[in-house]
Amino acid sequence: MSEKFDVIVIGSGPAGYVAAIRAAQLGFKTACVEKWRNEEGKGVNGGTCLNVGCIPSKALLDSAYKYHEAKDDLAIHGISTKEVKMDVPAMIARKGQIVKNLTGGIAGLFKSNGVTSLFGTGKLLAGKKVEVTDFEGKTVTYEAEHVILASGSNPINIPVAPVDNDVIVNSTGALEFQAVPKRLGVIGGGVIGLELGSVWNRLGSKVIVLEAMDSFLGMMDQQIAKEAQKILTKQGLDIRTSSRVTGSKVKGKEVTVTYTDKDGKEQTETFDKLIVCVGRRPYTEGLLAADSGVKFDERGFIFVNEHCATNIAGVWAIGDVVRGPMLAHKGSEEGVMVAERIAGQKSQINYDIIPSVIYTHPEVAAVGKTEEQVKASGEPYTIGTFPFSASGRAMAANETQGLVKIIAHAVTDRILGCHIVGPSAADLVQQVAIAMEFGSSAEDLGMMVFGHPTLSETIHEAALAVHGHAIHIANKKKKH
């Protein structure tokens, strides 16, 4: 008879490993299945995020920015540097060590919490049985009271630019360049494209971003998006919206890309490397047996309710494989929620208050509704903005680009959204997310005492500006 677990999680990315740890903390006999293997062929946890996503990309972003700062920005502080060089293989090796440390950390957390690691490919069978095929092809079937599907997502491929993992790469391949490409093309002007484009742009690549949509960062607040585009363009990114790629041809070590521009004219560009990052899709290949009974929605995501329960009792799905934004922190909180609901608790997630971040420099971050969404809803609203150029702390750090924007309901004053482009935007927006979770008004935020001098004061001033009370800029109260 096969071994039985209370909970089996398939996938150990941010959603899966958190779900497994929380389930074990709640006293359940828990196992976590993971198919990822490192370069040595050994099973490792962490999924896309830790291995080829969030973490390694941030390591490269920080390395690239430090190089840029040493090369171009330290003189204003009175610091003279001789010739600054970038050792790309050393940068890539540092990234790899960070990944190794963090994935190894999950193994330690599993051990300390009593989670059983099962390395191999997991498949859900009928009756909440999980078939695991290990790296040698041996198959074992386990039984479970509850199964949590957390298989994540993978990059979308497009026929007009097939990835060859040499000249044309996806986001994974873009993390492994051993030299700076002189000419770099990026198909897709979303989060991943901008972050990877920023890395290599700062290191010296001539970067052209081809975005099919007419607007830049169309899902974001457009005032912030336009400001971000202006800043990134000034940094050297050549961002071309309304540019739909129609073909590509690799010849030797370069690729020629054909695309139609905003006027419908055919254009070509030749690159040394081309990154395809047009989005991600849920990864469900081989995950479900035909008789598992689990349903999908019309977009190919596993169908779940607001608590991540599928249509099969005792089977749950979380993270990128279900509806909602593909964000690691969203998946992690779903993992906690599901584990606690299995334990009989009434945990839930406020999906209206999930922050999102683009880790360019400066960062772009948002939580809640955009001005466009509020306007479309017909709600009356007011806006407060504050530029980093008026922040003493930002001036001291020579980080004065961007602004904070807070949107509040014109009648109740409840904060509806916050949008930031600027230094430490990812951390600043979280302050507003906390305020929103507790139903804060803009006035509440404006009445709080913020430390001085801090970047956080920009949040304070933007909240005050909602009612025309900002101290360090001229006020322009605007009703809608």
pLDDT, residue 82, reads: 85
Q: CB–CB of 168/250 below 8 Å?
A: yes
User: Tokens 């291995």 belong to which residue?
Assistant: 51
CA separation for the pair 464, 466 (Å, rounded): 5
Q: Which two tokens stand for residue 453?
A: 């001098």
**Tokens found for residue 190:** 């979303």
The predicted pLDDT at position 223 comes to: 98
Residue 256 pLDDT: 98
Digit-by-digit pLDDT tens for the chain (480 residues) are 479 999 999 999 999 999 999 999 999 999 999 999 998 899 999 999 999 999 999 999 999 999 999 999 999 999 999 899 999 999 999 999 999 999 999 999 999 999 999 999 999 999 999 999 999 999 999 999 999 999 999 999 999 999 999 999 999 999 999 999 999 999 999 999 999 999 999 999 999 999 999 999 999 999 999 999 999 999 999 999 999 999 999 999 999 999 999 999 999 999 999 999 999 999 999 999 999 999 999 999 999 999 999 999 999 999 999 999 999 999 999 999 999 999 999 999 999 999 999 999 999 999 999 999 999 999 999 999 999 999 999 999 999 999 999 999 999 999 999 999 999 999 999 999 999 999 999 999 999 999 999 999 999 999 999 999 999 999 975 555
> How far from each other are the two terminal CA atoms of the chain, in whole angstroms?
67
Amino acid in position 109: L
Catalytic residues: 452
Closest to 360 (Cα-Cα) out of 280, 275, 434, 420: 420
The alpha carbon of residue 53 and the mean position of all alpha carbons in its chain are separated, in whole angstroms, by: 8
User: pLDDT tens for residues 259-290?
Assistant: 999 999 999 999 999 999 999 999 999 999 99
Domains of the chain: 4-155+281-342 (3.50.50.60), 168-278 (3.50.50.60), 362-465 (3.30.390.30)
The pLDDT, as a whole number, for residue 1 is 47
| pTM (predicted TM-score) | 0.96
Q: Which of 410, 433, 420 is nearest to 461 (CA)?
A: 420
Virtual torsion, Cα 60, 169, 99, 13, nearest 10 deg: 120
